[in-house]
A and B are shown apart, each in its own frame.
Chain A
Amino acid sequence: MPQTKKIFLTAEGLEVLQRELDNLVRITRPRVTERVQRAREFGDISENSEFDSAKEELGLVEGRISELERILKNYQLIVKRPKAEGFVVIGSTVIVEVDGEIDEFTIVGSPEADPSKKKISNESPVGQALLGAKAGEAIEVTTPIVRARYKIKEIK
């Protein structure tokens, strides 16, 4: 039997996802279901753009609910380790030097990845390469097209 892949979550990320699921199930799903019902009452559903749009929204909501349920069944909570441990773990915020530039980001489990908040997935090439590395180490991160050398300046 295929083994289900564990999804890493911080306590903070777990709370956010639980809240999102709760919100979707209690508020969004009933609201969109009602929108579909109302649109159906407008008449011929074959030429009813409001019905199509409402159905599409419901599909997206149901998809997200299933996704969140899957994550919340298979997650593994990341226990925040003291900084003194000295190497990169999921949940670490790292300051790196790459190509002469300084960058800072936090490595999180894939459901929490949010590039606009500088949270990158542990499954990304950088995430995979940096896990376990120590401050001061330089790691070559490669993909078939792009490669870069990341020097870890600090682990927070």
Chain B
Amino acid sequence: MNSTVKSNQLIKEFKHDLSGLSVNERQVLEKLIKAARLIAPIYQKQQDPKYPGANFYPHDVEKTEIENAAKKDPSLLDPYTIVKRKNGKLISVPYHLEYRQYLLPIAKQLLEAAKITINREFGKRLELQADALLDGTYDVADIYWLSMRPYKIDIVIGPIERYDDRLFFTKCAYQAWVGVMDEVETRKAKIIKEAVFSSSRKIITPVQQAAAFDRVQLRIDKEAIFSGLIAKFMFSSASLPNDVETISKYGSEITIFENSLNSHFVSRHHPIFHAVFEKKFQQSFPIEHMQEAALLSSLVHELGRQYLQYRGAEERLRDVFPVIAEIGSAVIGIKLLGPLLLKGIITQKQLESVLVIFFCRAFDWWDKYKRDPGAASYVRGNAIALNFLLSSGALQQQGGISWPNFTKMFVALSDLAEILEKILSVGGYQDAKDFIDNYGSFGTFDLFRPKLSQVLKDSS
């Protein structure tokens, strides 16, 4: 297999404005983009949507076989090892050894960038990241990244997201992004963040809550490149790290990806909006309002995620954790907008637009899922929300055209947020499974299929 050719499908480069960057910053950016491009071939080796364990585990292995073997050898379920069969026995190989030949040229680019940057703190960050790729000290690099002062240019590179491991939601897939901060939008977003975090909020089990709200950094970036898993899913935002204990001690960083967000909005969300909402209804949502709401929606999704950093949630909920956590973040994010509306920080139209965007995103994930089962957690979570809205009467549909009642929708999503937070904070595996079984049917999406097939690539 020619992984270089294939990996091109896993690289998304965006037009980016260099006018705000110095000559030195442009040179650094170029090196980082080169490093990011080289991640795609590694991800290409890891991914395989045909298998629930992708290529992280042998394709013939049963889940129970891994669980049993991991009792003696926990490294089999380490996020940064690949599992192989050797003489009939399961063994683990650390990523930094398995992919060393691919990682060496990436580290070289990072070190070259470190050498030329005039920002010494950022240079140190790049050195630590290069080390992490080659020796597996990812936590050292993460901790430094979280503690350094925000810099105009950012790079996140390495094994990060776990969505492709549908067996255990454990193994991290490689991805990279490089972005340049949009300082104006970042300033505006920080006002919303401060307003949200400045009101104390009831936390179901405070002892279990790990989020460090005073150490949540936020940036809105114009990203130059996505590579690896993130290029496949085209995320519009991220909050890292994923490890709850690291978050608790060192905080987290939220990044909103403006280019990905805008590209999604224009090519997917806005056409979906036109397909599934009634014409007169559409007229009261001008495109500029909707586009602004798309950013606000991503922002509050990530702010919502900070409230769901409950210790032990991943261990209790195992493979269904991402379903509950993703949709939980989205609906808590919407709930957080309630007090902002009452305090005059956002307008009613902005809240309505966020609710409309929420709906459009659900259909977008459904379409992505049809092409890649790695999106399963997202689409299942969105199915839960849509079914919850329909069953509460917040959403009526007739012939694939929807008629939302925003008041009922807000109340229903607030109720849903409470249920999901309870599951994440104190619930068990069976609680989560039962809730997903009750509300997670994909049938709702089919009601809208005729309208949506005009705008989405319908694989059925």
Interface residues of A (CB under 8 A from B): 49, 53, 98-103, 105, 113, 115-116, 118, 120-121, 123-127, 141, 143-146, 148
18 contacts between A and B (CB under 8 A): A98-B339, A102-B200, A103-B339, A115-B198, A115-B340, A116-B191, A120-B343, A121-B343, A121-B344, A124-B344, A127-B343, A143-B342, A144-B348, A145-B351, A145-B352, A146-B351, A146-B410, A148-B338
Cβ-defined contact, B19 with A141, below 8 A: no
- Apart from A120-B343, A124-B343, A145-B341, list 4 A-B contacts with CB within 8 A: A115-B198, A116-B198, A123-B344, A144-B348
Distance A100 CA – B201 CA, assembled complex (angstroms):
9
Residues of B within 8 A of A143 (CB): 341-342, 348
Distance A103 CA – B410 CA, assembled complex (angstroms):
21
Q: Residue on A with the closest CB to B405?
A: A145
Cβ-defined contact, B407 with A148, below 8 A: no
Which 6 A-B pairs give the minimum distances between C-beta atoms? A124-B344, A116-B194, A115-B195, A146-B338, A120-B343, A115-B345
Q: Residue on B with the closest CB to A122?
A: B344
Cβ-defined contact, A146 with B342, below 8 A: yes
Known contacts A116-B190, A143-B348; A148 and B198 CB within 8 A of each other = no
Cβ-defined contact, A127 with B352, below 8 A: no
Cβ-defined contact, B201 with A101, below 8 A: yes
> Does B202 lie at the interface of the complex (its beta carbon under 8 Å from any beta carbon of A)?
yes
Within 8 A of A (CB), among B305-361: 338-345, 348, 351-352
Within 8 A of A (CB), among B193-208: 194-195, 198-202
Q: Residue on B with the closest CB to A148?
A: B342
Distance A140 CA – B407 CA, assembled complex (angstroms):
16
| Most A-side CB within 10 Å, residue of B194, B201, B342, B406 | B342
Q: Looking at chain B's contact residues, is the secondary structure mostly helix, strand, loop, or mixed?
A: helix
Q: Residue on A with the closest CB to B20?
A: A53
Q: Residue on A with the closest CB to B407?
A: A145
* Minimum distance in angstroms from B186 CB to a CB of chain A: 13
Distance A148 CA – B199 CA, assembled complex (angstroms):
14
Cβ-defined contact, A103 with B199, below 8 A: yes
* Minimum distance in angstroms from B310 CB to a CB of chain A: 18
Distance A116 CA – B196 CA, assembled complex (angstroms):
9
* Minimum distance in angstroms from B296 CB to a CB of chain A: 14
Cβ-defined contact, A118 with B341, below 8 A: no
Known contacts A101-B201, A120-B343; A145 and B348 CB within 8 A of each other = yes
Residues of A within 8 A of B190 (CB): 116
* Minimum distance in angstroms from A126 CB to a CB of chain B: 5
Distance A102 CA – B203 CA, assembled complex (angstroms):
12
Q: Residue on B with the closest CB to A50?
A: B19
Q: Residue on B with the closest CB to A127?
A: B344
Distance A123 CA – B347 CA, assembled complex (angstroms):
12
* Minimum distance in angstroms from B392 CB to a CB of chain A: 15
Q: Residue on B with the closest CB to A114?
A: B191
Known contacts A145-B351, A146-B351; A101 and B202 CB within 8 A of each other = yes
Within 8 A of A (CB), among B397-413: 406-407, 410
Cβ-defined contact, A103 with B200, below 8 A: yes
Cβ-defined contact, B19 with A146, below 8 A: no
Cβ-defined contact, B19 with A49, below 8 A: yes
Distance A125 CA – B339 CA, assembled complex (angstroms):
10
Distance A127 CA – B342 CA, assembled complex (angstroms):
8
Cβ-defined contact, A145 with B410, below 8 A: yes
Residues of A within 8 A of B340 (CB): 115
Distance A99 CA – B348 CA, assembled complex (angstroms):
20
Residues of B within 8 A of A98 (CB): 339
Distance A145 CA – B198 CA, assembled complex (angstroms):
22
Cβ-defined contact, B407 with A144, below 8 A: yes
Cβ-defined contact, A145 with B344, below 8 A: no
* Minimum distance in angstroms from B124 CB to a CB of chain A: 30
Distance A101 CA – B202 CA, assembled complex (angstroms):
6
Distance A141 CA – B340 CA, assembled complex (angstroms):
13
* Minimum distance in angstroms from B178 CB to a CB of chain A: 22
Over the window 17-31 of chain B, the binary record of Cβ atoms lying under 8 Å from chain A Cβ atoms (1 yes, 0 no) is: 001000000000000
* Minimum distance in angstroms from B393 CB to a CB of chain A: 15
Distance A152 CA – B199 CA, assembled complex (angstroms):
15
Distance A105 CA – B345 CA, assembled complex (angstroms):
13
Q: Residue on A with the closest CB to B345?
A: A115
Distance A113 CA – B192 CA, assembled complex (angstroms):
13
Cβ-defined contact, A115 with B341, below 8 A: no
Within 8 A of A (CB), among B1-53: 19
- Checking A101, A124, A127 against B199 with a beta-carbon cut-off of 8 angstroms, the contacting residue is A101
Residues of B within 8 A of A53 (CB): 19
* Minimum distance in angstroms from A153 CB to a CB of chain B: 13
Q: Residue on A with the closest CB to B338?
A: A146
Cβ-defined contact, B406 with A145, below 8 A: yes
Known contacts A100-B202, A101-B199, A145-B351; A115 and B191 CB within 8 A of each other = yes
Distance A146 CA – B412 CA, assembled complex (angstroms):
12
Cβ-defined contact, B344 with A120, below 8 A: yes
Residues of B within 8 A of A120 (CB): 343-345
Q: Residue on A with the closest CB to B352?
A: A145
Cβ-defined contact, B341 with A125, below 8 A: yes
Residues of B within 8 A of A49 (CB): 19
Cβ-defined contact, A105 with B343, below 8 A: yes
Residues of B within 8 A of A115 (CB): 191-192, 194-195, 198, 340, 343, 345
